[in-house]
Amino acid sequence: MNGAIQRLTIKGFKSIRDAEIELKNLNVIIGANGSGKSNLIQVFRMLKALAKDRPDVSKNTFMIDSSGGAQLADYILTNGGANSFLHNGAKITSEIVMQIRLSASSEDNREHYFTFTPRVDERFMFHYHANCLSGKREDFGTPFYSLFDALSRWMVYHFHDTSAMSPMRRAEIVEDYHDGLRHDASNIAPFLLYLKNEKHERYKRIVNAVRLVIPFFDDFRLDVLKLGEAQKVKLSWQQKGSDYPMQPYHLSDGSLRFICLATALLQPDPPSTIIIDEPELGLHPLAIAILAELIHCAATRIQVIAATQSPALIDHFAIDDIIVANRKEGASTFTRLIRQDFSVWLENYSVGELWKKNVIDGGPVYE
């Protein structure tokens, strides 16, 4: 899968002092609060922001100006400034280092290295180089842009904001679908309208998935409204046995979140890698089972990375799909589980039960 990640090494980033993570098509990350799951998600967000900037470089260093404007600069400022990203602060950690190896199915056969060095003026000095498997070193140029083409095909989805004023509950212009489903599903209505008109089979799969979770749901009503100069569409839906159009405020937070998840996982032209943080929030156990099926299905086409705290969700995955985030000596670690280590336990217990019993070491660590 082009753009998928085979191995990710992170040094000096927030709680992650030094971690190497091997990734497959399906990766379910579990761990207690504070174990480092969210910081790992932030790594993907940071790289995605850098890819969006697509810096035009001619030398082997590039200055990231944190004064605002660029995607990465905005991301750094929003999250506390450059020094707040360093493991235990600037006195302990002088720079952030990352190394990426793309999937073996990718045409890219390089190890890509990043270094982010903070400056006193709240800037990052960013350095990059790549090592080919043949041993040749390359600075920027073709390898740099081939990697960033891959990073640009990732998407970190975060559907936590389902409040009354959340973007996904508001009307959006009809044409807002060309770049795919947004990270916060703020363009869910125009994206579904596009699928209904242009990718109807895929649209019906989304509708059928939603019907399994919301039994009285019949279909989406995606009426286009003329609002000033713009044509906008809002997420509305039809209830079975009723002609009355239901509005976004009629949907519970969990129902709305599941609609976004189903759309993300069943979309016809998905990102090469999808990262989802806590997809189980607000979902009924039956909905969690269907969500797990959607994740399994998506992982046959793309790479999926899901961070969760739900034993009910991980019950639907094999134990070697699981990566455990933990805290050891003040730093986050990430360990993929091996089936043979739990073979006896799995004769009588599910994966989720083993986690709740702390047989899978992923509970709170008191330091």
Do the Cβ atoms of 13 and 109 come closer than 8 Å? no
Structure tokens at 85: 């990203």
Q: Is 177 helix (H, G, I), strand (E, B) or coil?
A: coil
In this predicted model, what pLDDT tens digit does every residue of 157-205 receive, in sequence order? Answer: 999 988 888 888 888 999 999 889 999 999 999 999 999 999 999 999 9
Q: What is the pLDDT of residues 212-270, one digit of tens each?
A: 998 888 999 888 888 777 899 988 888 887 766 666 666 788 889 999 999 999 999 99
Backbone angles phi, psi at 124, to 5 degrees: -105, 135
- DSSP bridge pairs for 97: 11, 115
Q: Using an 8 Å Cβ cutoff, are 94 and 13 in contact?
A: no
User: Are the CB atoms for 33 and 20 separated by under 8 Å?
Assistant: no
Looking at the predicted structure, is the pLDDT value of residue 61 above 50? no
DSSP 8-state secondary structure symbol assigned to residue 319: G
- pLDDT tens digits along 329-356: 989 999 999 999 999 999 999 999 999 9
Q: With contact defined as beta carbons under 8 Å apart, do 177 and 192 qualify?
A: no
pLDDT (tens digit, 9 = 90+) per residue, 123-140? 677 787 788 765 666 655
Structure tokens at 58: 């001619």
Is the pLDDT at 69 greater than 50, yes or no? no
**pLDDT-based confidence at 78, cuts 50/70/90?**
confident
Burial string for 142-177 (b: 16+ CB within 10 Å, else e) reads ebbebbbebbbbbbbbbbeebeeebebbebbbbebb
Query: Which tokens sit at 283?
Result: 């979902």
